[in-house]
Amino acid sequence: MARAKPKKIGAVEKKLISVADAVITAAELRRDPTLSIPVRSLANVNFNEKRGIIEMGKRKQARTFFNVGMAKKFMQTVLVADALSELQRADLTTSLREIYYRTKHTMKGSSENTFDNQNESDPLIEDLEVSLAALREELHVRAENAGSIVGPVIFGDDGDRVDCARLGKGGYSVPSIVEPDFIEIRRCTADFVLLVEKGTQWNRLSEDKFWRRYNCVLLTGNGQPPRGVRRLARRLHEEYKIPVYVLVDNDPWGYYIYSVVKQGSINLAFESERMAIPKAKFIGLSSADPDAYGLPRNVGIKLNDKDIGRAKELLKYRWFQKKPWQEEIKRMLESGLKYELDALANKDFRYLTKTYLPRKLKEEDWLD
Amino acid sequence: MATALARNPTAQPKSSVSAVEMGARQRDISVSEFFTKNRHLLGFDNPRKALLTCVKEAVDNALDAAEEAGILPEVVVTLTVAPSNGDAPPPASQATRFRVTVIDNGPGIVRHQIPPAFAKLLYGSKFHRLRMSRGQQGIGISAAGMYAQLTTGKPVQIISRTSARGAAHYFEVQIDTKKNEPRIFENKKIEWNHERGTQVTLEIEGRYQKGRASVDEFLEQVAIANPHVKLVYMTPERETREYPRTINELPPQPREIKPHPYGIDFGILLRMLHDTRSHWLSGFLSGDFSRVSPAVAQEICKTAKLSPNARPRNIHGTEAEALYKAIQATKIMAPPSNCISPIGEKAILHGLSKQIKGEFYTAVTRPPSVYRGNPFVIEAGLAFGEGPDQVAAAAPVAPAVPLAEGEQRDDDSELARVIRYANRVPLLYQQSACATFKVALETAWRNYGIAQSRGALPAGPMVVFVHMASVWVPFTSESKEAIADYDEIRKEIKLALQECGRRLGMFLRRRERAKSEFRRRNIFELYIEEVVEACARLKGGKLAKERLKAQLEKIAAKRTGGERTDAILGRDGGPEGLPHSIIVTVEGPEGEAPVLPGAEPSAAAPPEEPEPAPRKTKAKTKPVKRKPKTAKRKAKKPKPKKRKK
C-alpha cells in the first residue's frame, strides 16, 4: 500500500499539525484550548436543491480542554490526530480499529485508559474529517472492503491491471479507498452503472451475465454502500458520464440507501461534494411494482412500527418532497407491506434478469 | 379457641354421628396445646429460627427485668453444642442440639413466681398494663421452654437470686400442656456466684448458622439499640464477643398509662364497664382512662344521653353502643407520651457508629404520635459508607492493573440493609411484611442522591435503622416479627426516613463536590501529560514540552478555582444543617471536621470524637432525658385537628 511520496509535509499532515498548534497558541495566550467541530446532525444539514446534495450547515460546537465533560474527549482527539499524522508520515493506510489500538494506553500514574473501546475513537476520526475538511481516505483510514464490481471496466490498482470483465462471477472487490491516487480507471465502456443493494441479487445478475447483455457495470455495497462503493460509482458517473441506477428493496431503508447515494448522508454531509450522485435514479423496487409486475400479496412483509416510523420521517426530508416520491412512500404506507428484491424469485429464479430489469430499462420506469 | 358446632342434626345416614356423641367429643383446648401444634406462630418454624427465638426471648426478659428494677443490665449469653448420647459434640455448624444459657444481673424472681413465669403460657406482668416494654404477652420464655420440652424433652433450668443476702433457688420446670400449668421437677437452694439475677438454661433442637437473621446478628443489633447494656456473647465456636456499655445511664423509666379512650374496641369497653370498681359512669370514664377529665366525662355522658350517675355495670346493648360512639365523637387530648422512652438520637448514633463501619451516621427521633389511642415514637438512623479503614485498605490496591476492553471496576451494587426494632428489640424475620421495610422501599431515596431501582431498597453501602417505641407495638403475628401497617405509623416512619435521607443527601453532595473538584484537577493533570506528548509528536519533536505543560497546568488551576475553592468548600461545609450526625474521614485531602455538633444551640453534649471513644458518655444522655418534655408539648397540638372529621 505504501507509495512513494515526496518527503515534505503534505497538506493533510499540515491540517493535523494545526490541532497541536491550536493547543500551543491557546496555552501561550492563557486561554482554554478549543477545537471547533461542525455539528453532525439533521439539524445542521441543508439540502441544496440547486445542486441536489445535502450540505453541512455552519453550526459548530466548541470542544474545550478544561471542561470536565469534554476534557477526555479533547485529549483523545489530540491523540487521534497524532496517530493520523503518523500514518501520513509513514504513508500507510489503516483501519478504524487499528487507530483505536494504536492510541490506547494507560495514562501515566493512573489506571485509567485513554480509550476504553472503539466506540470512543470512531466518532473522533469523523470529527477530525469534518473539522479539518479532510476525507477519511485522505487521512489514510480505510473501511472494510465491502463491495464488488463486475463489468466492462478496467482499473489500475498498485500498478496491476484489473479488467472487471474477466473476473468471473465474483468480480473485483472494491477497496475502501478509491481516490485517483490509489485506483486509476483506465477504461470504461459501459452504458450505465447498476448499484444493487443486496449481494444476493448482484450475484444473480453477475451469474446471468446481465452486464454483458446490457453493457453495464454491476456494483453492490452489501446493504448500505460503503464510501468506496459510493465514491467509485460517483467517479464512473463523473468521469465517464454514464447514468447510475439504484436497485434496492422496497422498504424505507431501501429508499434511504438510494437517497444516500443520490444526495449524501446526514452524518457525513460534508462528503456529499465528493460522494453524492445527484442524477442517480431509483429503478426499483417501487411500491407500484407489485401491481405492475403482478407480485402476489403473500410475498410481501407487513411493515412494522419501526418501518412506519422511518417512512414517516422520510416523508418529511426535504429531499423527498418531489411529488412522485411522496406518492411512492405513501403508497407503501397505504399497502402496509414491504417487498424484498428476492421476492421476485416467486415468479421465476431469473425474473429479475429476464423480465424485471429489461422491462424497467425499456420503459424507463424510474424515479428521480 | 372455642369450638363452634352445628346444633341441629339433620336426618342422617347411619355412619354419621349424633349431636350427643359430637357434644361428648367437645372439650377445652388449652393454649399450651394450641401452641404446641402451632409453634410457627411463636417463631419456632425451623431449627435455625427456633435457636434465635429462644435467645431472643431470654434476652428480652433479662433486659426488661433489669431496666424495670433500675439496674444497668449486664447480660451473658452462652451457646454451647449439647452433647447427644455421650459422643463428642459435633462442630457448631453441624450440631442439631444446643444449650442456651442467659444470665442477667436483674432483680431476680421471687421463689414462688419462678415456675409460672417460665412454664405457663400467657402468664406475666406485661400484658395488662400499658407501658413500653420488650415483652408484651407473657408467652415468650414459656414458649421457648415448651419448645425445649418438645424437641429434647429437657426441662428449663432456672437459677434466681433476689439479693446477696437471700439464697439462690434452682428450679427445673416444664409445662403441663393440657392444663397450661407448670410441673416442677427439681427445686432446691444452691450456691451461686452471682449476687443477684437470673439464669435460664434451655436445651433445644436448633441450628447455628451465621449471617442474616442469626443469633450473632441479633445480638449485634441489640447492642446497637441498647448502648446502656453490657452484653457478652459466647458463641458455639467458643469465641467470646463483648459489646461494652457505652452509655452509663439507664433510659428513662417509661411510665404505665391507662388506656386511651380512642384506642379501645367496643368489646373491651363492655368488659371494662363490667370490671370497673367505680360506681358511677362519670367516675369510670375519668378514672379508668387516660386524658378523660371529669369535665370530659360529663361531656361524653351528655352526648351519649346517659346519666353520669348511672352504674357502669348496668350499661348494656344500645346504651353501651351510644357510649362508645359518644367517646369517639368527643375531643380528647392525645395520650401522654411519657410512657414511652425512645432510644434517643445520641444513643442511636453511638450504637450505630460503634457497631457499623461507615463514613456518615445520622439519627432522628420523631415527636410522639398516636395510632388507635396508643402513643408511639418512631426513630430512624442511617449509617453510610465504607468506614475509613476499608477505604484506606481498598485505595492502594485499585490502580494496579490496566483494564482491558469490557472490563470494569467493581461497582458496589449492594443494596442497603434495613435493621428494624420494636421497643428496642431487633426484628429479624418477615422483613417484607413490616411497615418499616415497606416505607424504606417507598421513600424516594433518589432525591437524596442514592441509586434505587423501582420497588427495591436503595443501593449503596448503607444501613437503615428504624425503631418503633410504643406501649403496644402492633405486630402482624404472635412471633413479633413485623410491625403492622397503620397509616399513622407509616407516616411517622416516612418523615423520619426522609429527614435521615435529607441529611445523607447533604453529606453526599458535600463530599461529591469536594471529590469532583479534586478529581477534576486530577484528570486535567493526567490529560495535560497526554496532550503535551501528542502535540510534541505532531510537531515532530520540535516543542518545548515543559513550557507547554506548565502553561496548561496554570490554566487548569485557574479554571478549577485553585486553592480558593478548597477554602470556600471548607467553609460552607460547616456544621449547620446536619444535626445529630457524625462524619468520619481518614485524614484525607478534604480535611473536613470529623464531627458536627448538634444544631440546637441548647444541646449540652460536647462534640463526639471522630471514632467515638466508648467511655465518654456522661454528657450525652442529657438531651435524651429532656426529650419527652418537649415532645409532650408538641403532641398536644396535632390531636384536635385529627378529630375533626
Residue B190 and residue B297 share a domain: no
Q: What's the pLDDT at A101? A: 92
Pick from B479-483, B487-491, B580-584: least confident:
B580-584
CATH number assigned to the domain comprising residue B448: 3.30.230.10
Chain B residues touching residue A27 (CB < 8 angstroms): 548, 551-552, 555
- Domain end residue (candidates: A142, A165, A184): A142
Question: Rounded to 5 degrees, what are φ and ψ at A141?
Answer: -110, 125
Give the number of domains in chain B.
Answer: 3
In this structure, which amino acid lies at residue B36? T
Measure the CA–CA gap between A18 and A87, rounded to whole angstroms.
Answer: 16
Residue B269 and residue B177 share a domain: no
Measure the CA–CA gap between A99 and A112, rounded to whole angstroms.
Answer: 18
Residue B631 pLDDT > 60:
no
Three-state DSSP at A160 gives strand
Measure the CA–CA gap between B184 and B191, rounded to whole angstroms.
Answer: 20
Measure the CA–CA gap between B232 and B76, rounded to whole angstroms.
Answer: 5
Residue A51 within a domain:
no
Q: Measure CA B91 to chain center.
A: 32
Q: What's the pLDDT at A160? A: 92
Residue A137 and residue A168 share a domain: no
- Domain end residue (candidates: B243, B277, B294): B243
Residue A226 within a domain:
yes
Residue B623 pLDDT > 60:
no
Question: A8 in contact with B at a CB cutoff of 8 Å?
Answer: no
Residue B125 within a domain:
yes
Residue B105 and residue B236 share a domain: yes
Tell me the average pLDDT across B167-194. Answer: 88
Q: Which of A31, A66, A116 sits opposite B556 (nearest CB)?
A: A66
Residue B12 pLDDT > 60:
no
Residue A340 and residue A264 share a domain: yes
Q: If you measure CA to CA, which chain B residue comes closest to A30?
A: B555
Residue A117 and residue A154 share a domain: no
Q: What's the pLDDT at B409? A: 58
Contact A112 B556 (CB under 8 A): no
For residues A148 and A174, the answer to whether their CB atoms sit within 8 Å is yes
Whole domain around residue B164: which residue ranges? 33-243
What band does B86 get if pLDDT is binned at 50, 70 and 90? low
Q: If you measure CA to CA, which chain B residue comes closest to A75?
A: B531
Q: What's the pLDDT at B560? A: 65
Whether complex ipTM tops 0.85: no
Residue A91 and residue A19 share a domain: yes
Share of chain B above pLDDT 90, in %: 20
Which residue reads 369450638 in cell numbers? B3
Over the range B581-590, which residues count as b (16 or more CB within 10 Å of their CB) and which as e? bbbbbeeeeb
Q: What's the pLDDT at B241? A: 92
Q: What is the mean pLDDT of chain B?
A: 78
Residue B425 and residue B291 share a domain: no
Residue A368 within a domain:
no
- Cis omega before residue B548 (within 30°)? no
For residues A203 and A210, the answer to whether their CB atoms sit within 8 Å is no
Catalytic residue chosen out of the listed positions A100, A101, A240, A356: A101
Residue A50 within a domain:
no
What band does B90 get if pLDDT is binned at 50, 70 and 90? confident
CATH number assigned to the domain comprising residue A21: 1.10.10.10
- Domain end residue (candidates: A110, A142, A174): A142
Residue B281 and residue B201 share a domain: no
Q: Which of A72, A81, A113 sits opposite B403 (nearest CB)?
A: A113
Q: What's the pLDDT at A71? A: 86
- Domain end residue (candidates: B189, B210, B243): B243
Per-residue pLDDT of chain A (368 residues; tens, 9 = 90+): 444 444 567 888 888 999 999 999 998 888 889 998 888 888 888 888 888 888 888 888 889 888 877 888 999 999 999 999 999 988 888 888 899 999 998 887 777 788 888 888 888 998 898 888 888 888 888 877 678 999 999 999 988 999 999 998 889 999 888 888 889 999 999 999 999 998 899 999 999 999 999 999 999 988 888 888 999 999 999 999 999 999 999 999 999 999 999 998 887 788 888 889 999 999 989 999 999 998 998 999 999 999 999 999 999 998 899 999 999 999 999 999 999 999 999 998 999 999 999 999 999 999 88
**Strand duo A281-284 + A244-247: pairing:** parallel
Q: Hey, what's the cell of B557?
A: 488551576
Residue A332 and residue A293 share a domain: yes
Q: Hey, what's the cell of B149?
A: 420440652
Contact A30 B406 (CB under 8 A): no
Residue B184 and residue B144 share a domain: yes
* Cα separation values, A249 from A219, A321, A342, Å: 15, 20, 8
Q: Which of residues 494-533 of B touch A (CB under 8 A)?
A: 516, 520, 523-524, 526-527, 529-531
Residue A323 and residue A195 share a domain: yes
CATH number assigned to the domain comprising residue B114: 3.30.565.10
Residue B439 within a domain:
yes
Chain B residues touching residue A113 (CB < 8 angstroms): 402-403
Residue B519 pLDDT > 70:
no
Residue A58 within a domain:
no
Residue B281 and residue B307 share a domain: yes
CA distance A94 to chain B (A): 18
Contact A27 B548 (CB under 8 A): yes
For residues A191 and A215, the answer to whether their CB atoms sit within 8 Å is yes
Question: A46 in contact with B at a CB cutoff of 8 Å?
Answer: no
Give the number of domains in chain A.
Answer: 2
pLDDT, tens digit, for every residue of B95-145?
Answer: 889 999 999 999 998 898 888 888 887 776 666 666 777 876 667 788 888
Residue B56 within a domain:
yes
CATH number assigned to the domain comprising residue A324: 3.40.1360.10
Residue A38 within a domain:
no
Nearest 10 degrees: Cα torsion A175, A177, A183, A187: 70
Contact A72 B530 (CB under 8 A): no
pTM, 2 dp: 0.58
Residue B193 within a domain:
yes
Residue B637 pLDDT > 80:
no
CA distance A144 to chain B (A): 22
Share of chain B above pLDDT 70, in %: 77
Name the residue among B105, B161, B169, B117 with its Cα closest to residue B143: B117
Pick from A88-102, B5-19, B213-227, B267-281: least confident:
B5-19
Residue A224 and residue A210 share a domain: yes
For residues A338 and A250, the answer to whether their CB atoms sit within 8 Å is yes
Residue B145 and residue B53 share a domain: yes
Q: What's the pLDDT at A83? A: 93
Q: What's the pLDDT at B588? A: 30
- Domain end residue (candidates: B333, B359, B381): B333
What band does B590 get if pLDDT is binned at 50, 70 and 90? very low
Contact A78 B530 (CB under 8 A): yes
What band does B158 get if pLDDT is binned at 50, 70 and 90? very high
Q: If you measure CA to CA, which chain B residue comes closest to A77?
A: B531
Contact B531 A19 (CB under 8 A): no
User: Helices (H) and strands (E) in chain A — how many of each?
Assistant: 14, 17
For residues B180 and B30, the answer to whether their CB atoms sit within 8 Å is yes
Whole domain around residue A327: which residue ranges? 147-363
- Confirm whether A101 is a catalytic residue: yes
Q: If you measure CA to CA, which chain B residue comes closest to A120?
A: B405
CA atoms within 13 A on the CB side of B578: 26
Residue A121 within a domain:
yes
Question: A58 in contact with B at a CB cutoff of 8 Å?
Answer: no
Question: B557 in contact with A at a CB cutoff of 8 Å?
Answer: no
Residue A109 and residue A181 share a domain: no
Tell me the average pLDDT across B461-466. Answer: 91
Contact A75 B406 (CB under 8 A): no
Tell me which of B32 and B428 has the higher pLDDT.
B428
Residue B217 and residue B94 share a domain: yes
Q: Which of A17, A107, A117 sits opposite B529 (nearest CB)?
A: A107
Residue A62 within a domain:
no
- Domain end residue (candidates: A125, A142, A159): A142
Measure the CA–CA gap between B550 and B410, rounded to whole angstroms.
Answer: 35
Residue B572 within a domain:
no
Residue A324 and residue A245 share a domain: yes
Residue A353 and residue A239 share a domain: yes
Interchain CB contacts (distance < 8 Å): A and B: 94
Measure the CA–CA gap between B429 and B534, rounded to whole angstroms.
Answer: 61
Residue B358 and residue B237 share a domain: no
Contact A65 B539 (CB under 8 A): no
Residue B350 and residue B322 share a domain: no
Three-state DSSP at B530 gives helix
Tell me the average pLDDT across B434-463. Answer: 88
Chain B residues touching residue A32 (CB < 8 angstroms): 555, 559
The residues, any chain, with a CB within 8 Å of residue A18's CB and separated by 6 or more, are: A132
Tell me the average pLDDT across B48-57. Answer: 90
For residues B170 and B114, the answer to whether their CB atoms sit within 8 Å is no
Measure the CA–CA gap between B308 and B285, rounded to whole angstroms.
Answer: 9
Q: What's the pLDDT at B455? A: 83
Measure the CA–CA gap between B403 and B152, rounded to whole angstroms.
Answer: 58
CA distance B412 to chain A (A): 19
